[in-house]
């Protein structure tokens, strides 16, 4: 499996693992929420029951039970009909509810929950020795008292059964037993906020852990990709350097074989030819060595002590020397009259030769060099009409060993060290270098150097 596939696989499995972890964590948090909810509900139910069975409510309950008893006496004596009962309870409710609301506000502080509470009559049953079977006076849901009138999502908390006899209310009436069932309902309006707020610490901690794990994953994968890049660059470099040495070595081989033929009547012309081949290839190999050894420099160990004010003529000279070896390329040079560059002459030549060499190598036949004088710095610009550099590579071309033609060593030769070295020199002088241009149409290298 290729490295790229491995990394993709790793990323996919990381994402899947994260998703699974998120699901598990979500499940736990949901469970905790449910548990908190259950706990809060039982607490509130208990509290309401306590309120119901103590003090004030006792009086209130006695009051409406007495009214119910009186009504049953009227009812069993045919002085009232069953449809009048809800009317009676409604009237009672209207007078009881405000008292009740006040009372609940005072008593029912369950950890800041906004509790609404209602009590309903759900069943009234009358029994008596002269009745064949129990008479259901009322069955349904009649509001008895409440601190909330439009309660939508109320939950039933508990039920109470009240038993009395008509003789408890009035001594000289026919004895009927009656039972009233009441149901208590409650709801908590700020319910979700409260529970979520209680769980805030847990939630935040979960989010934090999650972010941490994602961060770690991201960091590891990024590291892995960097490692792979470095490994690729190394392989490329070895391929390139092998290729770079192969050509001069082959040429030297031919030249030496030629010189060995000396006794078989080697012509003067062939002799000189071979010598110049040896000379050229030797030079070329030396240049390669310099490049490779320059690869380990950093701006701190480039000696800038020999910097001097160089004028336009100096640049013109370097360009002219370069032009001699490339007669097919036209190089124009323009400069502000007063423009100077503060740099070591040798370094300036290295920079310009590298940039010009690259321009030709990567397809240019017209090059414009310009020198511009700004207030605190000098801008040296090399513009070519070569193949240009893609936007995404514009930062990377200054990195050590970076080449756009990766692996494909045969189109153009190079080790990917030239621009790296140029950048090191520019940085050593406190300057900056950048490349712009248009892919397919040319590049513009701009160097900004501070004036001394
Ligand atoms: P080398 O030329 O040895 O590959 P450099 O460091 O000089 O190394 O350049 C790095 C890469 O930048 C080159 O491989 C090439 O792809 C790209 N490059 C440099 N100069 C130019 C240019 N003038 N036009 C187009 N591409 C360039």
pLDDT in tens, 376-392: 999 999 999 999 999 99
Token pair listed for 135: 């008479």
233 pLDDT tier (thresholds 50, 70, 90): confident
Which atom of ligand 1 is nearest to 417's Cα?
6
- pLDDT band per the 50, 70, 90 thresholds, residue 149: low
pLDDT at 244: 81
241, 362, 402, best to mutate for ligand 1 pocket (most atoms within 8 Å of CB): 362
Q: Which range has the top average pLDDT, 47-61, 83-97, 417-431?
A: 417-431
Q: What is the pLDDT of residues 97-131, one digit of tens each?
A: 888 777 777 766 556 677 788 889 999 999 887 77
pLDDT > 70? residue 437: yes
Rounded to 10°, the helix 3-52/200-260 angle is 180
Is the CB–ligand 1 distance for residue 397 below 6 Å? yes
pLDDT greater than 60 at residue 449: yes
pLDDT band at 144 (very low <50, low <70, confident <90, very high): confident
User: By C-alpha distance, which of 129, 142, 19, 28 is closest to 83?
Assistant: 142
pLDDT at 108: 60
Closest CA to 386 of 367, 405, 414, 370: 367
14 pLDDT exceeds 60?
Answer: yes
Q: Is the pLDDT of residue 400 over 90?
A: no
Q: Is 35 exposed, middle or buried (CB count within 10 Å of its CB: 0-12, 13-18, 19+)?
A: exposed
386 lines ligand 1 (CB under 6 A): yes
Q: Is 384 in the pocket of ligand 1 (CB under 6 A)?
A: yes
- Here the tokens at position 190 are 């700020």
For residue 4, what pLDDT band results from cuts at 50, 70 and 90? confident
CA atoms of 419 and 427, how far apart (whole Å)? 12
- Regarding the beta carbon of 437 and ligand 1, being less than 6 Å apart is answered no
What pLDDT is attached to residue 44? 77
Whole-number average pLDDT of the chain = 87
What does the alpha-carbon distance between residue 118 and residue 157 come to, in Å, rounded to a whole number? 10
pLDDT at residue 34 is higher than 80: yes
Atom of ligand 1 nearest to the CA of 382: 23
Q: Which two tokens stand for residue 144?
A: 């008895």
Asked whether the predicted pLDDT for residue 260 surpasses 70, the reply is yes
DSSP secondary structure string, 253-315?
Answer: HHHHHHHHGGGGT--HHHHHHHHHHHHHHHHHHHHHHHHHHHTT--GGGS--TT-EEEEHHHH
Cα 17 to averaged position of ligand 1 atoms, centre (Å): 42
pTM: 0.57
Determine the distance separating the centroid of ligand 1 and the alpha carbon of 408, expressed in angstroms. 13
Does 177 sit in the ligand 1 pocket, CB within 6 Å? Answer: no
Contact 65, 164 (CB under 8 A): yes
Reduced to 3 states (helix: H, G, I; strand: E, B; else coil), residue 382 is: strand
SS3 36: helix
Confidence of residue 168 (pLDDT cuts 50, 70, 90): confident
Q: In what order do the strands lie in the sheet with 432-438?
A: 330-335, 366-373, 377-384, 442-450, 432-438
CA of 250 from ligand 1 middle (Å) equals: 25
pLDDT digit string, tens, across residues 267-309 = 888 888 889 999 989 988 998 888 888 888 888 888 899 999 9
């Amino acid at each position: 499996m290729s490295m790229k596939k491995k990394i993709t696989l790793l990323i996919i499995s990381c994402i899947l693992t994260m998703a699974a972890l998120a699901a598990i964590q979500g499940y736990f948090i949901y469970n905790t929420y449910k548990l908190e909810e259950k706990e809060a509900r039982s607490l509130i139910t208990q509290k309401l029951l306590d309120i119901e069975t103590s003090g004030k409510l006792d009086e209130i309950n006695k009051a409406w039970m007495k009214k119910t008893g009186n009504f049953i006496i009227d009812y069993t004596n045919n002085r009232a009909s069953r449809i009048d009962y809800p009317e009676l309870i409604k009237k009672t409710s209207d007078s009881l509810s405000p008292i009740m609301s006040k009372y609940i506000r005072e008593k029912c502080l369950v950890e800041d929950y906004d509790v609404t509470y209602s009590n309903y009559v759900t069943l009234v049953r009358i029994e008596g020795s002269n009745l064949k079977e129990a008479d259901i006076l009322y069955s349904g849901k009649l509001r008895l008292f409440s601190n909330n009138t439009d309660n939508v999502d109320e939950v039933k908390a508990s039920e109470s059964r009240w038993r009395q006899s008509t003789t408890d209310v009035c001594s000289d009436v026919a004895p009927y037993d009656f039972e009233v069932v009441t149901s208590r309902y409650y709801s908590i309006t700020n319910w979700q906020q409260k529970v979520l707020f209680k769980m805030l610490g847990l939630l935040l901690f979960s989010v934090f852990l999650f972010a941490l794990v994602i961060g770690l994953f991201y960091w590891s994968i990024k590291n892995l990709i960097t490692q792979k890049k470095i490994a690729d660059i190394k392989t490329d470099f070895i391929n390139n350097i092998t290729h770079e040495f192969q050509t001069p070595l082959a040429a030297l081989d031919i030249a030496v074989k030629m010189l060995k033929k000396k006794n078989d009547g080697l012509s003067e012309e062939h002799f000189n030819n071979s010598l110049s081949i040896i000379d050229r290839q030797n030079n070329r190999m030396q240049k390669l060595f310099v490049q490779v050894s320059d690869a380990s420099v950093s701006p701190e160990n480039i000696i800038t002590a020999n910097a001097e004010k160089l004028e336009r003529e100096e640049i013109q000279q370097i360009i002219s020397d370069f032009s001699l070896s490339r007669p097919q390329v036209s190089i124009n040079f323009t400069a502000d009259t007063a423009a100077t560059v503060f740099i070591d002459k040798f370094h300036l030549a290295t920079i310009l030769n590298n940039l010009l060499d690259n321009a030709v190598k990567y397809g240019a036949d017209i090059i414009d060099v310009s020198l511009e004088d700004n207030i605190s710095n000098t801008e040296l610009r090399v513009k070519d009409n070569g193949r240009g550099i893609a936007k995404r590579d514009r930062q990377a071309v200054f990195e050590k060993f970076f080449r756009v033609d990766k692996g494909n060593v045969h189109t153009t030769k190079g080790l990917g060290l030239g621009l790296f070295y140029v950048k090191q020199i520019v940085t050593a002088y406190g300057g900056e270098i950048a490349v712009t241009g248009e892919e397919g149409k040319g590049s513009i290298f701009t160097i900004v150097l501070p004036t001394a």
